[in-house]
Amino acid sequence: MTAESYDDTYLDDEDADWNATAQGAKSAGDTSFTLAWKPGEEGQKDLVAWFIDGSVRYYKIKYPNGTVDVFRGWCSSLGKAIPAKEVITRTAKITNTGKPELAEESGSPNIPVTGVTLDKATASVAVGATTTLNVTVNPASASDKSFRVSSADRAKATVTANGNTLTVTGVAAGTADIIVMTSDGNFVAVCKVTVTAA
């Protein structure tokens, strides 16, 4: 963040022969980042769409200790770079606008995630049928209890999340691992699902 200055010298200033300034307009500045280039990844497709439509959006920066700063801005630069050995990266710059919400202002300490569990280590479902799994992120008071979920083999089983409940749908006979990973700490829980013929 930066702040402009303005002249604060007045005629009745006893030190009028000295320049005097004070803080003026503030700016949240820019945020630049580099990603591995993955053309089919949904997040990067959304990044391109953000650049094209030019809208002002909220985004957050999460630090290793779990604290979060929230900014508002628009995507002002998007490109690709090949720094070495033909490894292509995606570069982006966000021009921030307005006042950010900083972790220092929240007043509440961050409570990190210590683990994640599923209520089943194994499960069975028929082709075309569904079964449910329940996710528990520990501790219950964790500041960020969000998680990502995926199927290791979507040709065998798919999974969707609604809150902490996962719905697994059998697609074809076989097995598939349902994997849950927390956003904070990258803790993982796995359920091995066996899909049986209908």
Among residues 8, 32, 11, the alpha carbon closest in space to that of 20 is found at 8
pLDDT digits (tens, 9 = 90+) for 149-176: 999 999 999 999 999 999 999 999 999 9
pLDDT digits (tens, 9 = 90+) for 102-134: 877 776 677 889 999 999 999 999 999 999 999
Helix (H, G, I), strand (E, B) or coil at 65: coil
Whether pTM > 0.75 for this model: the answer is no
Among residues 1, 53, 45, 48, the alpha carbon closest in space to that of 23 is found at 1
Residue 146, pLDDT score:
93
Give 118 or 184, the one with higher predicted confidence.
Answer: 118
**Two tokens, residue 42:** 């949904």
Q: Which distant-in-sequence residues (6+ apart) come within 8 Å of 166 by Cβ?
A: 118, 132, 133, 134, 135, 149, 159, 160, 178, 180
**Two tokens, residue 133:** 């799994």
3-state helix, strand, coil in the chain (%, to 5): 10, 50, 40
Cα–Cα distance, 169 to 155 (Å, whole number):
11
Domains of the chain as residue ranges with CATH: 2-8+19-105 (4.10.410.40), 115-196 (2.60.40.1080)
Cα–Cα distance, 95 to 50 (Å, whole number):
12
**Two tokens, residue 16:** 């009028």
